[in-house]
Structure 1
Amino acid sequence: MEEKETGDSLQSDSVQLDSMQADPIQPDSVPLETRSTKRKKMDRKTRNIIIYSALALVLVLGLGTAYAMHVFYSFAGNIYVDPNENPANIDPDAPKEGDPDYQPVSAAPEWDGHERINIVLFGADSRGLENTRLSRSDTMMIVSINPEDKSVRLFSILRDTYVKIANHGSNRLNAAIVFGGPRLAMSTISSFVDLPLHYYVYTDFEGFISLIDSIGGIDYEVDKKMVHIDNRDDPRYNIRLEPGLQHMDGVTALQYVRFRSDALSDYSRSDRQRQFIGAIATELKKTTNLFKLPSLLNSIAPYIQTDIPPDELFDLARLALKLDMSTMSGVMLPQQGAFTNEIISDMDVIVPNIEKVQAYVKEQLGE
């Protein structure tokens, strides 16, 4: 009996074991092969999303870059004036080449892309480019850039500086652009400071206003109350500023840089203009990106004229992005102690000591 019971028991256990083996364990009720396949599908889907997103980003940036490049070169072409084809403001009564008393006007030197580059900024109170006439320059400033160390020096030139102007005797420096256009003005300034001047940029009040507005204005500290009202002028150009930090739009910024109704007159105004140019440059680097560039360029193009060829303007724009604006500094010319105030031909003028001025410029540039 015991042996039979034992056999029956073993047989019963065997049946139960076979029954258990016939129904294998299924972890989480999902076959391993199925989970692996789903994971691979999810990984592939994630990869595709990343790849397509990256491609879309590259496409957007590529199209944006292409569009920005197109806008930039269109802008550069619109503002470019070949100095040899557009002799603006040539005085018909001035001595001509071949006349015995004719004084040749030197052409601007070429920039090799590596040496220091000097650009003259002319700012005027009215434009007149439609009839090829340029107004007397209200502001004259040399921007000197060293591509090697990315440094920038600004030289503000007082507009009443009394100098020799080729084929026109002696006069205020700001008259040179009226007598013979940018080329004569550049040649006159170059002789005054003993620096090669490669290019010029000419703009007017509206161009300045448009530039500031296009970058959304600028925060700037006004050091004192400034009030100047001229009923003969455009009401927008009347100056009413309170001291303190304020957000300036284009018109307000123009009021600030134009103010000279104080004891130092043109001297303090030149100093304010240099400092404000530095603030604008810093703001441009901070706020202008690939997608904002087209609207900025389109807004200022109608108010600018330059002899910088489009390709070189592009190179300069790339260089500008690398400049160290924190080290930018500037001075006034002629400097204190290098001029006298005189009245000549019923004009209040500043008579400079040329040798002192030229030595000072070289000192400022470390030459």
Structure 2
Amino acid sequence: MTLQRQTRKKKKVRKFRVFMVVFLIAFIAIGSYAGLQFYNASRAANADNNLSDDVEFNGSDGNVDNVNVLVLGSDSRGGDSARSDTIMIANYSSDTKEPKLISIMRDTYVNIPGYGYNKINAAYSLGGPELMRKTVTENFGIDISYYAEIDFKGFEKLVDAVAPNGIEVTVTPEMTTDQKALGVQLTEGTQKLQGKELLAYSRFRHDANGDYGRVQRQQEVLTKLKEEVASVTTVAKLPKMIGIANGYVSTNVRNGLLLSMGTDVLRGKTEDMQTMRIPVDGSYHDARYDVGAVLEFNVGGLEQNTQEAQTFLNQ
């Protein structure tokens, strides 16, 4: 099926978040307190976010019932050298109401349109979300309609808003011995981590599992956060959470879609989140080029990943 693409170049959309807040405030009847939470959180977040207000993104105008959102996590240190530390495809189906998540390992060696072969996360520094979209689409055949660019500062603040007592995870011995790589002090064992510590946990890659372990932890953390967001006790915090996201998330997701997804989560229709990783097991090998250590596809490996990704997303 031929998909018509339309260029969208616009400033960071804030109105849809206000729309959600108004809807949720009316729905849960928490009045002026919630409005004050949103206002204060949004003002504080916008004061120190590092995301660009102007983003070019030529998303697909294809299947409105099965939508893919490109999710990019960045530390936004500034300059052209910044690369995306987290690359995911979030899928939402209006039929099943079930979210799906594909994580693409950042060292995956692919052809970046116009630049040649490199690690896939280089596409972000070379051309932002739009070049990353092209790279994902041309390599794996995944049609992407929207993007969400997330500053890691916002992740920390959102975790603390959603779960002020922390999210329970298990810290491995390796994480306690490599404190420099983490940037925080952790102790071994099962415990609840708050925003800064949980971010360090999800980004850790200096053990035997390397980037594989990091992708697994990121998916684990997102699943647990989804459970927290869907809990009854979190509903009253939604305006504050949305206010925080307002300053740390740049996206072009339209109002109606966001509201549909959010409503489904609140109604408890998304109990399980299916996940996938690219590259899949057995389809690649370790290699080294002038760009450093990479994950290179075996012969036929790219085609295998493309087929499995499209099957996973029901494309």
Please tell me the TM-score bracket, short chain as reference.
Answer: 0.7 to 0.9
Structure 2 distance, partners of 1:312, 1:271, is 27
SS in 2 for 1:348: strand
Q: How does 1:292-331 map to 2 (within 5 A)?
A: 292-322=237-267, 324-331=269-276
Larger Rg: 1
The corresponding residue for 2:94 is 147
Q: Normalising by structure 2, report the TM-score.
A: 0.76
1:64 paired with 2:31, answer yes
Structure 2 distance, partners of 1:300, 1:355, is 36
The corresponding residue for 1:53 is none
CA RMSD of aligned residues (A): 3.4
Residue 111 of structure 1: how far off its partner (Å): 6.0
The corresponding residue for 2:128 is 181
The corresponding residue for 2:188 is 242
Structure 1 distance, partners of 2:305, 2:32, is 44
Structure 2 residue runs without a partner (length 5+)? 1-24
Amino acid at match of 2:231: K
1:333 paired with 2:274, answer no
1:218–1:280 contact (8 Å) kept in structure 2: no
SS in 1 for 2:69: strand
Structure 1 residue runs without a partner (length 5+)? 1-57, 88-105
Structure 2 distance, partners of 1:209, 1:294, is 17
The correspondence for 2:143, drawn from 196, 201, 214, is 196
1:157–1:334 contact (8 Å) kept in structure 2: yes
Amino acid at match of 1:120: L
1:86 paired with 2:55, answer yes
The correspondence for 1:109, drawn from 60, 65, 72, is 60
SS in 2 for 1:282: helix
Could you list the runs of 4 or more consecutive aligned residues of structure 1 that deviate by over 6 angstroms after TM superposition?
Answer: none
Residue 166 of structure 1: how far off its partner (Å): 1.4
Residue 223 of structure 1: how far off its partner (Å): 5.5
Structure 2 distance, partners of 1:229, 1:318, is 40
Structure 2 distance, partners of 1:229, 1:256, is 11
- Residues 288 and 203 of structure 1: CA distance in aligned 2, closer, same or farther (over 3 Å): farther
* Greater RCO structure (CA 8 Å; 6+ sep): 2
Q: Normalising by structure 1, report the TM-score.
A: 0.66
Amino acid at match of 2:107: D
The corresponding residue for 2:17 is none
The corresponding residue for 1:357 is 305
2:169–2:193 contact (8 Å) kept in structure 1: no
The corresponding residue for 2:21 is none
The correspondence for 1:125, drawn from 75, 91, 102, is 75
The correspondence for 2:108, drawn from 158, 161, 180, is 161
Residue 297 of structure 1: how far off its partner (Å): 2.0
Residue 229 of structure 1: how far off its partner (Å): 2.6
1:152–1:328 contact (8 Å) kept in structure 2: yes
**Identity among equivalent pairs (%):** 26
Residue 143 of structure 1: how far off its partner (Å): 1.1
